[in-house]
């Protein structure tokens, strides 16, 4: 029994390693993507279950999940081979390094030289971006 379990574990490790190899790396996630002034753009929407749910809907309706994944781990179906890879929102160190206004800035204006394009025009009501920010915050592991 023990040997069999070991064999299964070894297979799982081999699979995890091969899928990790197919994944492109994130560009160092910690340095800011937005100008320093974006930090002063304060989130006026308190985070609660309704806001997070609205943000999740927008995230899926706009198609952010195609790259970032439903759970925000950066491994959505369109992310294969993407260089740099989409941000992993579950990363606590990255979450801690960002102000809400910086997230809004990048969502609206994109990140130069990456697949993260400007999405401001996708929002019927630009203020709804704060719900998406609250959803992204809820993904921290």
Residues at the contact surface with ligand HEC, assessed by CB under 6 A: 27, 29, 33, 59, 62-64, 66-68, 78, 82, 84, 86-87, 98, 102-103, 106-107, 111, 114-116, 119, 122, 132, 136
| Among the listed residues 62, 33, 39, the one whose alpha carbon sits nearest the alpha carbon of residue 132 | 62
Answer for the pair 132, 58: CB distance below 8 angstroms, yes or no.
yes
Instruction: Give the CA-trace dihedral at 56, 61, 84, 35, to 10 degrees.
Output: -70
Nearer to ligand HEC (CB atom), residue 13 or residue 118: 118
Nearer to ligand HEC (CB atom), residue 16 or residue 118: 118
Q: How far apart are CA 44 and CA 130, in angstroms?
A: 8
Rg (CA), the chain: 17
CB 58 → ligand HEC: shortest distance, Å? Answer: 7
Nearer to ligand HEC (CB atom), residue 2 or residue 107: 107
Nearer to ligand HEC (CB atom), residue 50 or residue 115: 115
- 75 CB neighbour count, 10 Å cutoff: 18
CB 71 → ligand HEC: shortest distance, Å? Answer: 14
């Amino acid at each position: 029994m023990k040997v069999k379990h070991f064999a299964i574990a070894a297979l799982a490790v081999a699979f995890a390693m091969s899928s990790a190899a197919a994944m492109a790396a994130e560009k160092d996630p910690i340095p800011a993507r937005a100008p320093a002034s974006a930090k002063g753009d304060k989130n006026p929407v308190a985070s609660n279950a309704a806001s997070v749910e609205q943000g999740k809907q927008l995230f899926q309706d706009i198609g952010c999940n195609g790259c970032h994944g439903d759970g925000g781990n950066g491994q959505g179906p369109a992310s294969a081979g993407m260089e740099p890879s989409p941000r992993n929102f579950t990363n606590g160190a990255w979450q801690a390094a960002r102000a809400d206004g910086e997230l809004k800035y990048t969502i609206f204006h994109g990140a130069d030289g990456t697949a993260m394009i400007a999405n401001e025009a996708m929002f019927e009501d630009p203020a709804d971006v704060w719900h998406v920010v609250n959803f992204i915050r809820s993904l921290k592991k």
